[in-house]
Amino acid sequence: MTNAYLKAFGMHVPERVVTNQEIGELAHCDPAWIEGVSGIRERRWADPESSVADLAVEAAKDCLDRASLSAASLGMLIVASGSGASGFPGPAAAVAAALGLETTPALDVPMASAGSLFGLALASKLVEFHGDVLVIGAEKMSAVIQASSLDPNTAILFGDGAGAALVSSRPAGWKIVDAVLHTDGQFRDVLTFDWKSGLRMDGKSVILQATRKLPSVIHELLERQSLTPAEIRAFLLHQANQNLSLRVAKALNVPEEKVYSNVARYGNTSSASMLIAAAEWSQTHPAPGPIVFSAFGAGFHWGALLARPA
């Protein structure tokens, strides 16, 4: 592993809160059922005029502020999103332009939920060559769920937001120690989205695979580093569903509190969620210790990344 450090995190969520009552009326389902099946109580929706890039820029600015860096110091941008408005260019170019960057390379990772994890792992390999890499996960899932008629099984889950992480080659924060990434394309039709057909998800397949693959890849990563789940300070997961997070905690045999959760407040923000969780956790849980990031999403793509205090 190269010398790569997580210097700071940042986040942005829109102001508008959409409660289970509101989405329940729109999708014709019971608010109590929504919370029971997902643990979600509310989510944020951006205004119709806001773009994925707009959300990403706000998270980028928050992360750069926390890192006490200017955008001009960045060597590279990586923007993960599955909800960009156009085929190409993806939102990375617009984010770079909004940050005043005219020549800095900006890479799109159009992977949905596992995108920011893959972005972090990629950044850890690129940082020594390019300099500081800002990894952003940004999603406007309110547009995704409204691209076709609202399906109560999916519309209740998703929210808008953006998270960011500054990966540096200079010691700071947490050192990225190792990462394990996997893809299994035989299930690529289980969770899909395009603007013409809308969002399609076989929730049973997704949950069945995720409940096994997330603990499995975390064990794979930790065994490689001769660590046990009990030695990990916090698990910062893609925030898909509270019931899934609880099952991961159970499978790892760690207290539920170790698996950070904010899905009740923001819902599933796809690629943004893991970095939003990191941004919140890093401000509220300052005690040192190794941390594990992990995500699973459409593709299927999944993986885990280990970082230790620098």
Partner 1 sequence: MPDANRHERLLGVLKKVTTQPLPSDSEESLFESGLLDSFALPDLVSALEQEFSIKVPDRDLNPRKFDSIARIEAYLDQHAG
Whole-angstrom distance, CA of residue 158 vs CA of residue 145: 8
> Least CB distance from residue 62 to partner 1, whole Å?
34
For the bound state, the minimum distance from the C-beta of residue 185 to partner 1, rounded and expressed in Å, comes to: 12
Structure-token match 């085929």, residue found: 87
User: In terms of CB distance, is 122 or 218 closer to partner 1?
Assistant: 218
| Cβ-based nearer residue to partner 1, 53 or 199 | 199
Q: Which is nearer to partner 1, 5 or 158 (CB)?
A: 158
- For residue 224, the tally of other CB atoms under 10 A from its CB is 12
Residue number, 188 or 212, with CB nearest to partner 1: 212
- The first and second tokens of residue 101, run together, are 């960057």
Beta bridge partners of 76: 133
Write down the least CB distance from residue 142 to partner 1, Å.
23
**Nearer of residues 33 and 129 to partner 1, judged by Cβ:** 33
Least CB distance to partner 1 at residue 152 (A): 14
Report the C-alpha gap between 281 and 237 in whole angstroms. 11
We find the least distance from the C-beta atom of residue 30 to partner 1, in angstroms, to be 15
* Smallest distance from partner 1 to CB 203, Å: 5
Residue pair 136/60 in contact (Cβ under 8 Å)? The answer is yes
Contact 217, 182 (CB under 8 A): yes
Cα separations (Å) of 152 from 40, 157, 243? 13, 9, 18
- Distance spanning both ends of the chain, measured CA to CA: 14
Burial degree of 54 (CB within 10 A; 0-12, 13-18, 19+): buried
* Cβ neighbours for 244, distance < 8 A, ≥ 6 positions apart: 207, 210, 211, 214
Nearest CB to partner 1, comparing residues 3 and 183: 183
Question: 85 or 201, CB closer to partner 1?
Answer: 201
1 versus 208: smaller Cβ distance to partner 1:
208
Binding residues for partner 1 (CB under 8 A)? 37, 184, 186, 202-205, 207-209, 211-213, 243, 247
Alpha-carbon separation of residue 142 from 3, 51, 293 (angstroms): 38, 11, 25
The β-bridge relationship of strands 5-12 and 174-183 is antiparallel
What is the smallest separation between the CB atom of 213 and partner 1, expressed in angstroms? 7
Q: Using N-to-C axis directions, what is the helix angle for 52-67 and 273-284, rounded to 10°?
A: 30
DSSP character for 196? T
Least distance CB 164 / partner 1 (angstroms): 31
User: What is the C-alpha to C-alpha distance for residues 110 and 119, in angstroms, rounded to an integer?
Assistant: 10
